[in-house]
Amino acid sequence: MPKIAVFAGHGGADYGAVSGSLREKDFNLAISNAVSSLLRGMGYEVINNRTTDTDRNISRDAALANNQNADALVEIHMNSNEGTPGTGSEAFYSVKDTGQGRALAEAILANLEGLGFVNRGARVHLNASGQDTFGILRLTDMPAVLLETAFINNPQDIQRLNIQAVAQAIANAVARVFPVTAPPVTPPQGGNAVIRSIQSTLNSRYGFNLAADGAAGPLTRAALVRGLQTELNRQFGRNLATDGVFGPLTRAATVNVRPGARGNMTYIIQAALFIRGFTDVIPDGVFGPVTERAVRQFQGASGLTADGIAGPNTQNALFRW
């Protein structure tokens, strides 16, 4: 997700522009906090230079944005002038900008224009050395905008200035120029797809809560035994504890599962065979020739009679993990 630096100009001992009882730093902070809250709600990561009325330091703030690799930066200010009050919004982007800073500045101004503010335009502002006049633009690396939201000494501008509406206008502009990438529909999946399927099947069939991580760890292996115990109880009226341990009682309660069988017990045996490395057995609950061959091979490797029938001895060897 994009990371946006939302900075409030001035603060603490530095009031910024003042008009009567109005202090620029207070507007900057209120707008900055509202924009930040909106952007977070839209899925952005937001970093701030200040969230309370504290001093700010332009060099430190610029370093913060650079070190945090912010994708974009907006710094909020209020304008002021001498004489007849000016009106409207203007925005500055860096002389280093490659397009996105300007695009963001213009998008913000267009949205503020929609709220009734005069659009005074977006431009660079350079000092005699040809560098950005504003430190936050000069010292940062990412697309950056310094916004002069409105004129603090213009009563009409102040009357028009609804903090929440202005914040929404700025957040919407960020969203247009730096859209949040849609999150993946499914989380990244790891491990083996067949084992993930086994885990999901056990969860839905028996109400387990296995992580479908595709790894046949101890919980997944115990879950197979719990499933087997559950089937023996349901289908054959056994009264086994479904504890996931293939002990003597479970062994005594087993039934022969033969070629041609179908159902959940066959599925569990197939799953155990797959986990034990017989990966041509894809569990489907049907005891066919591939499963029978795997049972014979497993029996042979375990020193059992290779008859292809999953009886008590075979199941004991299969589920004694």
Question: Is residue 9 at the binding interface for Zn ion, with CB under 5 A as the rule?
Answer: yes
Q: How far is the CB of 65 from Zn ion (least distance, A)?
A: 17
C-alpha torsion angle, residues 117, 123, 125, 128 (rounded to 10): -150
Which stretch, 2-10, 30-38, 102-110, 128-136, contacts Zn ion (CB under 5 A)? 2-10
Contacts to Zn ion from residues 120-179, by CB under 5 A: none
Question: Is residue 11 at the binding interface for Zn ion, with CB under 5 A as the rule?
Answer: no
Main-chain phi, psi angles of 209, to 5 degrees: -130, 45
User: Residues 250, 255, 259, 264: is their CA dihedral positive or negative?
Assistant: negative
CA-CA distance, 253 to 240, in Å (whole number)?
A: 8
CA-CA distance, 2 to 8, in Å (whole number)?
A: 19
List residues bridging with 3 in a β-sheet: 45
Which stretch, 30-38, 75-83, 133-141, 198-206, contacts Zn ion (CB under 5 A)? 75-83
Contacts to Zn ion from residues 16-35, by CB under 5 A: 16
Q: How far is the CB of 148 from Zn ion (least distance, A)?
A: 7
* Residue whose CB is less far from Zn ion, 71 or 75: 75
CA-CA distance, 107 to 99, in Å (whole number)?
A: 12
Q: Which single residue brings its beta carbon nearest to Zn ion?
A: 77
List residues bridging with 262 in a β-sheet: 286
Question: Is residue 283 at the binding interface for Zn ion, with CB under 5 A as the rule?
Answer: no
Main-chain phi, psi angles of 119, to 5 degrees: -90, 105
* Residue whose CB is less far from Zn ion, 23 or 77: 77
| Beta-strand pair 3-8/22-23 | unpaired
Q: How far is the CB of 189 from Zn ion (least distance, A)?
A: 50
Q: How far is the CB of 153 from Zn ion (least distance, A)?
A: 13
Our CA angle for 188, 193, 199, nearest 5°, is 95
Among 25, 56, 77, 138, binds Zn ion (CB under 5 A): 77
Which stretch, 59-67, 71-79, 220-228, 269-277, contacts Zn ion (CB under 5 A)? 71-79
* Residue whose CB is less far from Zn ion, 9 or 101: 9
Q: How far is the CB of 39 from Zn ion (least distance, A)?
A: 21
Q: How far is the CB of 2 from Zn ion (least distance, A)?
A: 25
Tokens representing residue 2 in the block: 């994009």
Q: Are 104 and 178 in contact (CB under 8 A)?
A: yes
* Residue whose CB is less far from Zn ion, 134 or 208: 134
* Residue whose CB is less far from Zn ion, 16 or 101: 16
Number of H helices, E strands in the chain: 12, 8
**Quick one: DSSP state of residue 227?**
H
* Residue whose CB is less far from Zn ion, 33 or 230: 33
| AA identity, residue 70 | A
Size of the site for Zn ion (CB under 5 A): 3
Binding site for Zn ion (CB under 5 A): 9, 16, 77
